[in-house]
Amino acid sequence: MSHPLGLRPSKIIAVHLNFRSRAAERGRFPDEPSYFVKPPSSLAWSDTELVRPKGTELSAFEGEIAIIIGRFAKNVSRADAWEYIAGVAPANDFGVHDLRYADRGSNLRSKGSDGYTPIGRVLDPADLDLKNLRLRTWVNGEVVQDDNTSDLLFDFAYLIADLSRTITLEPGDIILTGTPTGATTCQPGDVVEVGIDDHERLRNVIVESDDELPKPGAQPKVTQVDKDAAVGGAVPAIKPETEKMLREVCTATIYSQLRKRGIHHTFFTGLKPARTDLKMVGVAHTLRFLPLREDQFAERGNGMNAQKRAVESIGPGQILVIDARDDHGAGTLGDILAARLIKRGAAGVVSDGCFRDSPMFADLELPSYSAGAHAAVLGRKHVPWEVGVDIACAGVLVRPGDILVGDAEGVILIPPALVDEVARDSVQQEHEEKFILERVEAGESIDGLYPLGKAKRAEYEEWAR
């Protein structure tokens, strides 16, 4: 069936992971893009129904921007690739993840079924800033995805240049350029809309078929891996038992354990908590500010800028970590955005700059660490630049997915590969120190006791039993 807007692709190519916010959510940042192919028969348009088989439960939307190729592209340079774009359009890379287990990575049945690639009205690139397009998705009228092409890992030109090295792109071919954070499951009756800037939205309704998927062939099945992929959210980086141990120990103990492993520079110097009674454990979600330059602030500082996108893309258990270059001349976050972090399920916020509305943080149920207070808005000193990148905060190199622990003393980072053993050995160290403290308070000398010597270890082991 031909598309009412005249789209007749020979192929539809989709990128697996391309928005920084989605990469941060998944806990991995690819060095190069990877792709899968959807058949042209999956093409649909606005107001068509997205039909999932009866009995399935993992239907999922992914708001995206589709590139429409305008002419034959083979071995195109990145510099010239922009000239091969005939248009862009809102798209929904819809899928039913109950069938994903059977695809073995191809996504053919889960995302390539008839009608699973609705494409909206094509927009003329001459009227757009392709490097600064706002992409939004609504479910039942509520915004659930909000991001910008400035946060793509690989821009449109990169994708065209990369693909055209080995695949001839033909006029009308479609490239789906990736989805930001917020993509998740939807249910029959849900209305999903996707829009670019303020142009006409793509609109589709989810429905369930009256019939189950017939045999032969694989039948729908829910696996935990496929459920996690469909539902979205932050990839659990901390085991529950590890998190429990980290909440029991102090940052000073963690520092000792890291030092034994040759890690010396992960304590955030100079940051203080707004509330000393709250413990913080979570996964880093990073935001980078650059020094104020008025023309760049005019371009990147207004509207749904990187600061707001960082807040809207944070997931449960994640900690917003802000790189303000240790500049204390302006606020980096205020009480309204902090309240939004709480609603998003954030585990905390850390900034090496200052907070505005700082007295309010003492009443928020959000572990918060900063270098102090400042009433000025961030535009006095900073340009909100990018989300989900490696940053420096209070002298510490922070990567998305790193583990942070905060207490009344401050914040410390644990590399993810070490977190389980550091947590276990920190609990053991504090247990030994409890024994040592009891002996010191009883009047014993610290000689051979602190640190625990061989002669005293037998006493400790008896005490521990």
- In DSSP notation, 324-360 reads -TT--SSBS--HHHHHHHHHTT--EEEESSBBSSHHH
Q: What's the CA gap between 203 and 94, in Å, rounded?
A: 12
DSSP conformational letter for 214: P
Which spans in 186-293 are helix H? 224-231, 240-248, 251-260
Instruction: Give the residue carrying structure tokens 């900034």.
Output: 351
Which residues, listed in sequence order, are joined to residue 194 by a DSSP beta bridge? Answer: 137, 202
Distance CA 124, CA 349 (A): 40
Q: Residue 294 class from Cβ within 10 Å (0-12 exposed, 13-18 middle, 19+ buried)? A: exposed
d(CA 458, CA 148): 62
Q: Residue 401, annotated ligand binder? A: no
Beta bridge partners of 214: none
Is residue 277 annotated as involved in ligand binding? no
| One-letter identity of residue 37 | V
Is 155 annotated to bind ligand? no
356 is in an annotated binding site: yes
Exposure string over 196-227, b if 16+ CB within 10 A, otherwise e: beebebbbbebebeeeebeeeeeebeeeeebe
337 labelled ligand-binding? yes
Tokens 């429905």 identify what position? Answer: 207
334 annotated as belonging to a binding site for a ligand: yes
Instruction: Say if CB 96 and CB 48 are below 8 A apart.
Output: no
**How long, in residues, is the chain?**
465
Neighbouring-strand partners of residue 96: 59
Please return the burial class of 445, using the count of CB atoms within 10 Å of its CB with bins 0-12, 13-18 and 19+.
exposed
SS3 175: strand
367 conformational bin, left if phi > 0, alpha if psi -120 to 50, beta if neither: beta
Query: Residues annotated as binding site?
Result: 334-337, 356-357
Q: Which residue ranges make up the annotated binding site for Mg(2+)?
A: 357
Bind-site residues for substrate: 334-337, 356
